Copies of this chain bind each other. A is one copy, B any other.
Amino acid sequence: MRPKLVLFGDSITEESFGDGGWGAALAHHFSRSADIVLRGYSGYNTRWALKVLDRAMDGASFGEPPAAVAVFFGANDASLSDRSSGFQHVPLCEYGTNLRAICSLLKDKWDSTIVILITPPPIDEDGRIQNPYGDNPSGLPERTNEEAGAYAKACVAVAEESGLPVIDIWTRMQKFPGWEKLFLRDGLHFTSLGNRVLFEEVVRKLKDTGLSLETMLVDQPLFYDIDPKDPLKTFCN
């Protein structure tokens, strides 16, 4: 049985199998070693994620604990409460509590599973103003980078107190000059390059926890291990 790597998150996860997406890139990278299981729910915050966690994970485990679950929420929680996406907002303190609950529920369900937290990404406010969701007469962005940063810090804190690995994509992306347009296509969702950054971070983090191409079994003999003079010999075991 191939190990399963479950991606549990919001729209940045749901769209991760689109062109150049980080989920598809993981499935390609692990094409003979692991199944990447997509559980992305566009628009969801941690409050709603908690409500669906059990049902969302049913069928994601396929009878045995996944090797890893990446939990990637916060971008919607960090919507400003008094702006156009206010109904997705979750207060910072509750975000931390919800994240802890999500991790506990996953660990209660599958104690051997590695839970990896991913912080919300940075926000390019100009990109959000240029790409509003529906009417936005105020002309103000419904998310700010400062607010996303506070949620990212809270996510890192939850990971540290729980002893879980974390990818601080908010900080990581901002190390690159021009990150605003380079990595974010509408100020929030990823460009191909942004997807690439997250993909590489996930691969690195999985490797830190012992899950890499070098350590995982290959499903069925590789072509180059098949003896051209006697191919069927390879399949006799």
Contacts and interface: CB of A to CB of B under 8 A. Distances in A.
A59 interface: yes
A48 B18 contact: no
Nearest to A192: B19
B226 A43 contact: yes
A223 B31 contact: no
A44 B223 contact: yes
A42 B232 contact: no
B41 A220 contact: yes
Contacts of A38: 27, 31, 35
A20 B24 CA distance: 9
Contact of A59 (B19, B48, B62, B231): B62
Interface of A: 1-2, 11, 14-15, 17-21, 23-25, 27-28, 31-32, 35, 37-44, 47-48, 51-52, 55-56, 58-59, 62-63, 87, 219-220, 222-223, 226, 228-229, 231-232, 235
B52 A31 contact: no
B220 A55 contact: yes
Contacts of A24: 17-18, 21, 24, 27-28
B220 A87 contact: no
Nearest to A229: B87
22 contacts: A1-B58, A11-B223, A17-B17, A17-B25, A17-B27, A17-B28, A17-B31, A19-B19, A19-B20, A21-B24, A24-B27, A27-B27, A27-B38, A35-B37, A42-B222, A43-B226, A44-B223, A47-B232, A48-B232, A48-B235, A51-B235, A63-B63
B42 A28 contact: no
Nearest to A1: B59
Contact of A15 (B31, B87, B219, B223): B31
A220 B52 contact: yes
Nearest to A37: B35
